[in-house]
């Protein structure tokens, strides 16, 4: 796979990124694809390793290693190296419905498990994938291909995020008639309103949705099932229903002063910016949560917190601080975190890079949380009382927990607070509307290795089933759920 010895001949190169001080002037994607010759050399680094952990998608050391979609990575790396992009696209699409999404927003579990990465830089799998799918669009290889025969079966998919889109795409290919109900004004779920344009421009989603519509999938937006749309009517009109509404309950910070004005959930903040950009080419004052000239405090050190950093800087924030409850991870793998486990190492993402370029420092403060929000006379948040945390072994829990360090309180000025602390599970109203049971984690309860809920003909997929996770896992969930629904409807399946 790839060129014999290519991994010794060529060093890893990544697509060039626009310099931080330039890219913060806009909200567009900022990586430039490399020349085809260079891309072939990067694909040539795939090293005929014998056991390609990149595509394993297996649990190692309590964490998943390799691609959950089991993408045929060595195959299409070899095909890119040989310049056979058409066949590379065919092999890529055999396992991945939406490589244009994963090649932009996935944290590349494949690369973290790459055998080449054991002693050198891993193969640039994610960028190779992006080059294949964009070649397909550019050369007319990706287009509508409606099924020639319809089965007469009708399926309702509730939620148009990556899991719901994958379910719809798969079942439509089998000839079932699929209607997707989406409570927002556009399909995409968190792809549309939870991930900013810098990582995923919305025209990429719209391009794919247009093809799906041409293939016969019906999208009903502004349709909030369980509120404005009757769930009982849907169950009556459709042969099967798939719930793919995500883990939409944001985790809150319940401390004194939480009711102050100026405190928002991160997704609401990101969504407001995206909606404003979709309405006008540039941000229009008064149409989004603005951080221009303000001290911004972000609670949460994950991907969403980083997206908030990058967005706030583009608004023109005066200062940005990002709190992380956990200690800073090591810069390199520790001895107890060997390859091919997921590397628990510190990552400085694009937003943090931009903060360093603008303000001269990393915005993250580790082992810290908020103890209280302080309001001004008008009821607006003006600062946060923070406290340092330390890891202490809890004998009752049988594990280390983060506890406050006595006397370590300090203040941070904050005009806007963005809570990016993750999500807790299924929103109760949609579960109640369909009568499905939830488990202790507030995800929809199903038998092991199944997507069948406690209600006949009602299935579940994505974060609503497994909890907050990655886009690539949502697609895998959607594909697996579609296979189960197809088997349920027809009695056999070739999905």
What is the average pLDDT value for the chain, to the nearest integer?
Answer: 96
Q: Which residues of 236-270 are buried (b: 16+ CB within 10 A; e: fewer)?
A: eebbbbbbbbbbbebbebeeebeebebbbbbbebb
CA neighbor of 248 nearest in space, from 193, 298, 302, 285: 193
The proportion of the chain whose per-residue pLDDT surpasses 70, expressed as a percent, equals 100
CATH number of 154-248+424-490: 3.50.50.60
Residues 6+ positions from 226 with CB-CB distance below 8 Å: 429, 430, 432, 433, 434
249-257: average pLDDT: 95
Residues 199-206: what's their mean pLDDT? Answer: 98
pLDDT band at 48 (very low <50, low <70, confident <90, very high): confident
* Per-residue pLDDT at 394: 86
Q: Domain 6-138: which topology?
A: Fumarate Reductase Iron-sulfur Protein; Chain B, domain 2 (1.10.1060)
**Averaged pLDDT for residues 195-207:** 98
Domain extent listing, the chain: 6-138, 154-248+424-490, 263-419
Asked whether the predicted pLDDT for residue 207 surpasses 90, the reply is: yes
* 365-413: pLDDT as tens digits: 999 999 999 999 999 999 999 999 999 988 888 888 999 999 999 999 9
Beta bridge partners of 403: 390
6-138 and 154-248+424-490 agree in CATH topology:
no
**458-460 and 240-243 as β-strands: parallel, antiparallel, unpaired?**
parallel
Among residues 404, 421, 416, 322, which one has the least CA distance to residue 373? 416
**Average pLDDT of span 170-184:** 98
Is the domain spanning 263-419 CATH 3.90.1300.10? The answer is no
The answer to whether the beta carbons of residues 183 and 173 sit under 8 Å apart is no
CA-CA distance, 299 to 365, in Å (whole number)?
10
Which of 99-103, 303-307, 393-397, 462-466 has the lowest average pLDDT?
A: 393-397
Q: Residue 202 in 3-state DSSP?
A: helix
CA dihedral 207, 210, 212, 216 (to 10 degrees): -170
* Measured distance CA(487)–CA(495) in Å, rounded: 9
CA dihedral 279, 284, 287, 289 (to 10 degrees): 120
For residue 219, pLDDT beyond 90: yes
Q: Please report, for the chain, how many H helices and E strands are present, in that order.
A: 18, 18
Q: How many residues appear in the chain?
A: 495
What's the CA gap between 347 and 12, in Å, rounded?
18
pTM score of the predicted model: 0.96
Residue 475 has pLDDT above 80, yes or no: yes
What pLDDT does 351 receive? 98
């Amino acid at each position: 796979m790839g060129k014999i010895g290519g991994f010794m001949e060529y060093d890893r190169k990544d697509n060039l990124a626009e310099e931080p001080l330039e890219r913060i002037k806009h909200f567009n994607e900022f990586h430039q694809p490399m020349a085809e010759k260079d891309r072939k050399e990067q694909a040539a680094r795939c090293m005929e390793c014998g056991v390609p952990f990149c595509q394993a998608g297996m649990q190692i050391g309590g964490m998943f290693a390799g691609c959950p979609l089991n993408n045929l990575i060595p195959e299409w790396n070899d095909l890119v190296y040989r310049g056979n992009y058409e066949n590379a696209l065919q092999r890529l699409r055999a396992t991945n419905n939406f490589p244009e999404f994963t090649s932009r927003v996935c944290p590349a579990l494949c690369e973290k498990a790459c055998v080449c990465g054991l002693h050198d830089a891993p193969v640039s799998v994610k960028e190779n994938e992006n080059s294949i799918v964009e070649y397909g669009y550019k050369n007319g290889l990706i287009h509508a291909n409606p099924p020639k025969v319809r089965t007469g079966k009708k399926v309702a998919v509730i939620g148009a995020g990556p899991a719901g889109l994958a379910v719809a795409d798969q079942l439509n290919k089998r000839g079932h008639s699929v209607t997707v109900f989406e409570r927002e004004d556009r399909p995409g779920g968190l792809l549309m309103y939870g991930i900013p344009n810098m990582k995923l421009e919305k025209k990429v989603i719209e391009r794919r949705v247009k093809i799906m519509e041409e293939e016969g999938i019906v999208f009903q937006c502004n349709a909030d099932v369980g509120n404005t749309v009757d769930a009982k009517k849907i169950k009556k009109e459709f042969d099967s229903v798939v719930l793919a509404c995500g883990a939409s309950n944001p985790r809150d910070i319940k401390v004194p002063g939480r009711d102050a004005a100026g405190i928002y959930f991160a997704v609401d903040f990101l969504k407001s910016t995206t909606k404003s950009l979709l309405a006008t080419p540039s941000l229009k004052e008064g149409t989004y949560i603005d951080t221009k000239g303000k001290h911004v405090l972000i609670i949460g050190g994950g991907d969403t917190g980083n997206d908030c950093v990058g967005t706030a800087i583009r608004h023109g924030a005066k200062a940005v601080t990002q709190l992380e409850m956990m200690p800073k991870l090591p810069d390199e793998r520790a001895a107890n975190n060997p390859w091919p486990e997921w590397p628990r190492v510190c990552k400085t993402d694009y937003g943090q890079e931009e903060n360093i370029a603008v303000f001269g420092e990393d915005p993250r403060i580790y082992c810290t949380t908020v103890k209280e929000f302080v309001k001004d006379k008008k009821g607006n948040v003006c600062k946060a009382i923070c406290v340092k945390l330390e890891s202490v072994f809890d004998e009752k829990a049988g594990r280390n927990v983060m506890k406050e360090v006595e006397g370590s309180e300090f203040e941070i000025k904050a005009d806007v607070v963005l809570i990016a602390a993750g999500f807790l599970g299924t929103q109760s109203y949609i579960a109640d509307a369909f009568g499905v049971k939830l488990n202790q984690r507030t995800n929809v309860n199903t038998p092991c290795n199944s997507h069948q809920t406690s209600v006949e003909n009602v299935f579940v997929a994505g974060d609503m089933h497994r909890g907050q996770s990655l886009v690539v896992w949502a697609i895998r969930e959607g594909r697996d759920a579609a296979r189960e629904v197809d088997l349920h409807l027809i009695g056999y399946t070739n999905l």
